Structure 1
C-alpha cells in the first residue's frame, strides 16, 4: 500500500488546492504499487489521473458587446509531434511546457514559469501552430486577440480595450495570442508615429509588466524591426522562426502525406520545388495533392503530383519563374 508520507502529501495537496502536486503524488503512488506487484491497482490509479487531465470541453465566455469579434476562442488539438521546427526551438517550446506543468514547484522557491512569449519570423513558419500546440499540451483554451480590430481611430479607446483584455487574462486562465503584434508594439521613435499609438504601447508595456495571472501570453510578429526595444524585456522568452531547411521540408511532407505517400518517392525534385516555401505553403501543397489523388480515385500521392502542387503554390506566391 501507499507509504504514510505519500498519503500525507496527497492530503496536503488536496487541502491546499494544488492539483498538479496531487496528480504528481498520485502517479508516485501508482509507481509504488506497480513495484509491489499490484499492477491492477496501479493501472486504475493512472486511468483516474488520465481522465482528470482530459479537457472538460470548450469554455464559453460572454464577452462585452464592444469585445465581440475582438477575441476568438478555440480548443486546439494539434500534438507537439506535428510540429516541424529546428531542434533548438523545439527544446525551448518543451521547456515552456515543462515549466508550466511544474509551476507550483518553482513558486515554492520564489520563481515563476515562462508564460510571456514572443514568436518572431516570416509568415507560415509555424508561429501560430506553435501557439496551438502549447494550448493543447497545457490544456488551455486559446484566445486569439484580433489586433487589427483592437486599434481604433478614437483617442483612448484602444487603451481601454487593452485594459479589458488584460482583465480577461487575469480572470480567465488561458493562452492569449496577440496576432500581428507590431500593430501596437511599434517603435515609439518612428517618424510616422502619433501620440495616441505611443500611449497604446505604453499601456501595453504597463499591463504586461503588472500581469501576475496564470495565463500564457504570446505575441506574434513578422516584423521584429518595427517593435519597440522596451518590449523584449517584458517577455520571458523570444523565439525566432525561419523558413524550413531541406530536412525539415522532408519531415513535414512525410508527416502530412502519411499513409498517402507512394512507396517509391523521388525526393530530389520534390525538395528542389520546396526550396523557399514556408511550412504553411508546403503543408497546403501536400493537402492539395491528397485531395487530387482522392478525386482521381488513386490510393497514393506520387512525387510527380506533389511536385505539380508545389510548383503551383510557388507560382501563386512568387509569380512564374523565369525559364
Structure 2
C-alpha cells in the first residue's frame, strides 16, 4: 500500500483542486506499487488516472466539437449536410449481444481509454471497425453505444447527399467528410456501407463507382486522426476484397441465440405487467428472428394491451403478435423472391 505521507498529500491536493499535483502524487504511488511487483494494482490505478484524464479531455473536446458544427461538410450542388450529428446515452450494458462480440467491444473501449499508455509505446488504439450481419441485429445501436461509452458525438453519413449524380462529386464529398473529422474527435458511422464499397471487378459497376471505392480506400489508408470510423453492412459479400484489409477489426452480428432471446424478452417485458410467461417455449418459437424483430413483437404486444385496457401481457397475447409478424414476413419474402 501507499505510504501515509503520499496519501496525505494526495487528499490535500484533491481538496485544493490542484490537478497537476494530484496526478504527480498518483504517479509516485503507481511507481512504488510497480517496484513492489504489484503490477496488476499499478496497471489498474494507471487505468483509472487515464480514464479520469480522458473524461476531462472528452468534456473539452465536446465543447470544441460543438463549435465545429457550423463547419459540417456539405454537398456543393445541393448544399445539404453530408453527415448528421447526434449524441448517445446508450451504453454497451443496455444491449443484448453475443458474449464474444461483447468482449471484443469492451476490449476496444478499454484500449481507447488507455490511449495514453499505448502512445508511450508508440502505438495507437484501433479505430477502424467493420460491422457485418443481417439487418436488425444491432450494428447501428452498437455504434451508438460506443459513442455513449466514450462520450463522443456520432456522425451519421447521409448517402442521399454523398452519392452525387455529377461525375467526381461523390469522391469529393467523401474527402470533405474525412477532412472534417480531422478537426475533432468523432465516431464516423457509415451505414449501408456496401453503397460505396462494392467490388470493383464487377461487370455491372461503372467507372465512377470504381473511382469512389479507390478514393475511399486511399482516405482510409491516409487517415491518422483520433476519430473512430465504423462501417456497417448487411451485404458483406458485395464488398471489394481490398476493403476488408483496411479495417482493424471485423465483427459479425448474428441473429440471437435462444439464451439471448430470453434476455431480450425479459428486458422488453419489464415495461408492462406480465402473467404466465413461458420464456423457454417463447424463445424456441422466436429462433431465427433478429433482435429488432423480437423487440417489435413485444412492443406491439404491450401497445395492444394498453389500447385494449388489458391489465397484463401473457403468452397468448405475445403469440398473437408473433402470428401477425409472420404474415408481415411473408409479404417481405414475396417482394424479395
Task: Report the TM-score range of the alignment, normalised by the length of the smaller protein.
Answer: 0.7 to 0.9
- Which consecutive residues of structure 1, in runs of 5 or more, have no partner in the other structure? 16-20, 33-44
Q: Residue in 2 aligned with 1:18?
A: none
C-alpha displacement at 1:285, in angstroms? 1.4
Q: Residue in 1 aligned with 2:122?
A: 110
Q: Distance in 2 between matches of 1:23 and 1:223?
A: 51
User: Would you say the 8 A contact 2:130–2:251 is kept in 1?
Assistant: yes
User: Would you say the 8 A contact 2:84–2:157 is kept in 1?
Assistant: yes
Of residues 78, 81, 93, the one that matches 2:93 is: 81
User: Would you say the 8 A contact 2:73–2:83 is kept in 1?
Assistant: no
User: Would you say the 8 A contact 2:197–2:239 is kept in 1?
Assistant: yes
Of residues 173, 180, 183, the one that matches 2:192 is: 180
Q: Distance in 2 between matches of 1:65 and 1:189?
A: 30
C-alpha displacement at 1:96, in angstroms? 1.0
Q: Residue in 2 aligned with 1:193?
A: 205
Residue 218, structure 1, aligned to residue 230, structure 2 = yes
Secondary structure of the equivalent of 2:201?
coil
Q: Residue in 2 aligned with 1:156?
A: 168
- Which consecutive residues of structure 2, in runs of 5 or more, have no partner in the other structure? 34-48
Secondary structure of the equivalent of 1:260?
coil
The alpha-carbon distance between structure 1 residues 249 and 261, as it changes in their structure 2 partners (threshold 3 A), is farther
Residue 256, structure 1, aligned to residue 268, structure 2 = yes
Q: Residue in 1 aligned with 2:255?
A: 243
C-alpha displacement at 1:184, in angstroms? 0.7
C-alpha displacement at 1:25, in angstroms? 4.8
TM-score by length of 2: 0.78
Q: Distance in 2 between matches of 1:320 and 1:72?
A: 29
Query: Considering only aligned residues, what root-mean-square deviation do their CA atoms show, in Å?
Result: 3.5
C-alpha displacement at 1:157, in angstroms? 0.2
Q: Distance in 1 between matches of 2:314 and 2:131?
A: 35
Residue 298, structure 1, aligned to residue 310, structure 2 = yes
Q: Residue in 1 aligned with 2:137?
A: 125
My pick for the range that moved more, 49-58 or 68-77, is 49-58
C-alpha displacement at 1:168, in angstroms? 1.2
Q: Distance in 2 between matches of 1:239 and 1:24?
A: 41
- How many residues were matched structurally? 296
TM-score by length of 1: 0.81
Residue 59, structure 1, aligned to residue 71, structure 2 = no
